[in-house]
Amino acid sequence: MADESFPEELADALVGVQRLIRRRLRREMPDPRLRSAEVELLRLVAERPGIGISDAAKELYLAGNSVSTLVNQLARQGYLVRETDPADRRAARLLPTPAAEARLSEWRRRRADLVRNRLSRLDEADRETLLAAVPALRRLADTLREEDERP
């Protein structure tokens, strides 16, 4: 790689874009305001209904007690349901409620609208460059995920 600063600049740009999107969406979403960790847990549970707390903690790189706290908060707000795991009566399985599904759908719609609007302000060459970069960014994410999953 010719430019030694490229990895740091890329990471800074990705984090900066994510932070700004998250901040903007947080301001625009209806109450109750959800923290990033709560949204990430809801997204995970919606993608993998029935996931257990320990698996969610591993997936989100959080301590189990932190995820339990998030689950309790989201359950009180009507976004998650905890069911007993029939295979292990001590374990809970997490399910999204219709309110969670609606909230996530609204969040996705607003996020897409926000990014679409900002992309339209860029010139065609920048939009094409970003479009071409998406597969490489997904592969980068896959390599990061693979390294985390190795024993």
Write the CA distances from 47 to 59, 141, 142, integer angstroms. Answer: 12, 18, 17
* Cα 1 → chain centroid: 30
Least confident of 21-25, 30-34, 124-128, 131-135: 30-34
pLDDT on residue 129 = 93
pLDDT on residue 131 = 93
State whether the Cα torsion 117-118-121-122 is positive or negative.
negative
Nearest in space to 107 (alpha carbons), one of 68, 84, 128, 79: 79
Mean pLDDT calculated for residue range 83-109:
88
Has residue 84 got a pLDDT over 70? yes
∠ CA 66-70-76, rounded to 5°: 145
Has residue 148 got a pLDDT over 80? no
Mean pLDDT calculated for residue range 5-27:
88
Higher pLDDT, 151 or 71: 71
Mean pLDDT calculated for residue range 130-149:
85
> Which pair of structure tokens corresponds to residue 123?
């010139």
Burial label, 79 (beta-carbon count in 10 A; 0-12, 13-18, 19+)? buried
Average per-residue pLDDT for the chain: 88
pLDDT on residue 61 = 85
